C-alpha cells in the first residue's frame, strides 16, 4: 500500500492538496515507522575493489543510485565534493511510465533515484557508494525507506558500465561480510535501462523547501550526518 506520507507530504508540495501545518499537527508523527540504526561511516570499510580507470582521461562520469525518496538522496550528494550535478528521476522501468503519478503506484519497475555527475579525479565511484550506504539511506530495508513503502523506494544501484557493476557488487559482498549492519543488505545491482529526470517541482526540493515537515524530519538529518561523518568530502 502507498506510504501515508505520499499523498500528504509529497503531493502537498506538488499540488497544494493540504497544508504543511496539518502535518505538523500530528499526521507526520503518525506516519513515522521505526527503522534500523544506520551504521556509522567510521565503521564502514572503504571499498576493497576500486575502479581501475579512476581519473583517467574522463573529465566527468555519472552514477545512478536509488534509496527511498529522491529528495533526500539528492540533497546529500549535492554536498559531496567533486559532484557537479545531481538530478532526481526514475530508473529501472520503461521510459513510457517514467512520471511521478505512474511510478507512485509501485508497479512500473521504476525506482525514485538520482543521477550524479562527478569528477572522478576528485571523488571516486567507490567513495560515492560509501556515502550511499553510510548516510544517504538504510540499505537493509527492503522495498521501503522509513515511512515510504513500495518497490519504487527500493535500494538499488544502476551501473553505467561493467566497471561500476564490478565495484558495486564487490562492495555489497564486502559490507555483508564485515557485519557492520545488523541485517543483510537489501540493495540490488540492476540492469541499466536509462534514466528519466523527474518533474521540475522535484528538482532541488530540499534546497527550495527547507521548512517542509518531511524535509526537516527525514532529509536534513542525512545532510547533517554527511557533514559530521565525511568532513573531508563535505562542501
Q: pLDDT, tens digit, for every residue of 100-109?
A: 999 999 999 9
The pLDDT-based confidence of 57 (bands split at 50, 70, 90) is low
Inter-residue contact 219 to 71 (CB < 8 Å): yes
Give the E-state strand segments of 58-204 in sequence order.
61-67, 83-91, 111-118, 144-145, 148-149, 155-158, 188-189, 195-197
Tell me what pLDDT residue 54 has: 52
Mean pLDDT of the chain: 86
Signed CA dihedral, 184, 219, 114, 229: sign only: negative
Inter-residue contact 91 to 180 (CB < 8 Å): no
Give yes or no for residue 166 having a pLDDT over 90.
Answer: yes
| pTM attached to this predicted model | 0.85
Q: What is the rounded average pLDDT of the residues 89-113? A: 97
Cell numbers at 207, concatenated? 534546497
Of 35 and 218, more confident:
218
Selection from 76, 147, 77, 71 nearest residue 112 by Cα: 71
Of 35 and 194, more confident:
194
Give yes or no for residue 7 having a pLDDT over 50.
Answer: no
- Which CATH number is 38-229 given? 3.30.1060.10
Tell me what pLDDT residue 59 has: 86
Buried-exposed string 21-38: b where 16+ CB fall within 10 A, e elsewhere:
eebeeeebeebeeeeeeb
Give yes or no for residue 183 having a pLDDT over 60.
Answer: yes
200 three-state secondary structure: helix
Residues with a known catalytic role = 69
Gap between the Cα atoms of 139 and 145, Å rounded: 9
Residue 79 burial class via C-beta count within 10 angstroms: exposed 0-12, middle 13-18, buried 19 and up: middle
Per-residue pLDDT tens over the stretch 187-209: 999 999 999 999 999 999 999 99
Selection from 65, 78, 109, 19 nearest residue 203 by Cα: 78
Give yes or no for residue 26 having a pLDDT over 50.
Answer: no
Amino acid at each position: 500500500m502507498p506510504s501515508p506520507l505520499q499523498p500528504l507530504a509529497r503531493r502537498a508540495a506538488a499540488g497544494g492538496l493540504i497544508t504543511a501545518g496539518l502535518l505538523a499537527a500530528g499526521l507526520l508523527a503518525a506516519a513515522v515507522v521505526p527503522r534500523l540504526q544506520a551504521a556509522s561511516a567510521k565503521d564502514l570499510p572503504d571499498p576493497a575493489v576500486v575502479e581501475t580507470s579512476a581519473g583517467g582521461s574522463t573529465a566527468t562520469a555519472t552514477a545512478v543510485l536509488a534509496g527511498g525518496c529522491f529528495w533526500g538522496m539528492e540533497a546529500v550528494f549535492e554536498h559531496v565534493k567533486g559532484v557537479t550535478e545531481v538530478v532526481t528521476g526514475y530508473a529501472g522501468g520503461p521510459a513510457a511510465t517514467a512520471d511521478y503519478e505512474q511510478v507512485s503506484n509501485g508497479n512500473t519497475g521504476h525506482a525514485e533515484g538520482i543521477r550524479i555527475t562527478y569528477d572522478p579525479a576528485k571523488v571516486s565511484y567507490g567513495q560515492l557508494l560509501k556515502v550511499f550506504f553510510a548516510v544517504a539511506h538504510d540499505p537493509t530495508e527492503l522495498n521501503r525507506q522509513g515511512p515510504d513503502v513500495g518497490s519504487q523506494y527500493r535500494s538499488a544501484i544502476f551501473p553505467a558500465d561493467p566497471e561500476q557493476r564490478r565495484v558495486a557488487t564487490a562492495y555489497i559482498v564486502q559490507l555483508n561480510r564485515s557485519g557492520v549492519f545488523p541485517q543483510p543488505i537489501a540493495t540490488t545491482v540492476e540492469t541499466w535501462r536509462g534514466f528519466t529526470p523527474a518533474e521540475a517541482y522535484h528538482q532541488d526540493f530540499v534546497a527550495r523547501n527547507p521548512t517542509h515537515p518531511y524535509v526537516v524530519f527525514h532529509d536534513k538529518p542525512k545532510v547533517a550526518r554527511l557533514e559530521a561523518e565525511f568532513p573531508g568530502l563535505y562542501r
